[in-house]
């Protein structure tokens, strides 16, 4: 993961993510009997981080997508920031909801399919993100 910073500037969200992954991973290794709480807790933590970043001047996704739109100058564009705030909140909600269904479905007959479900949903959200980041600015500008 450290190699990614040759292309992208490290943000506070990277530090928080690394820390969370380390804490959740070590906890899962030391307390495997707690996985029913650790796994949904990890989704919840990331969902909250994404969602709460919408309250800051620059939401989480803007820090990463700016590299595709004139780098840091994109952060001065209110429409770019607004578009990313919407997308960041959508991703945050997805991870919070993923936390809930993961918690409730673990230990049920659906449990073996959770890995598929929890990977397909971000793929679908990625498709939506790609569409939305092109559609919304054009739609907004046409008003």
Q: Which residue has the tokens 């450290």?
A: 2
Domain count, the chain: 1
Which structure tokens are listed for 26? 């070590």
Q: Which of 55-59, 68-72, 107-111 has the lowest mean pLDDT?
A: 68-72
pLDDT of residue 8: 64
Q: Which residue has the tokens 């820390």?
A: 19
pLDDT band at 6 (very low <50, low <70, confident <90, very high): low
Tell which phi-psi region holds residue 11, choosing left (phi > 0), alpha (psi between -120 and 50) or beta.
Answer: beta
pTM: 0.90
Domain that holds residue 75: 2-141
Among 125, 54, 56, CA closest to 83: 54
How confident is the model over 107-132, as a mean pLDDT? 96
């Amino acid at each position: 993961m450290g190699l990614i910073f040759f292309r992208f500037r490290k943000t506070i969200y990277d530090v928080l993510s690394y820390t969370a992954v380390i804490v959740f991973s070590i906890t899962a290794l030391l307390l495997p009997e707690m996985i029913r709480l650790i796994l949904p807790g990890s989704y919840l933590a990331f969902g909250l981080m994404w969602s709460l970043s919408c309250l800051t001047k620059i939401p989480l996704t803007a820090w990463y997508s700016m590299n595709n739109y004139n780098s840091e100058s994109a952060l001065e564009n209110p429409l770019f920031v607004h578009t990313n705030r919407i997308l960041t909140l959508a991703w945050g909600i997805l991870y919070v909801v993923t936390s809930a269904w993961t918690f409730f479905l673990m230990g049920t007959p659906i449990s073996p399919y959770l890995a598929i479900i929890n990977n397909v949903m971000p793929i679908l959200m990625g498709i939506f993100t790609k569409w939305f980041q092109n559609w919304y600015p054009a739609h907004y500008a046409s008003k």
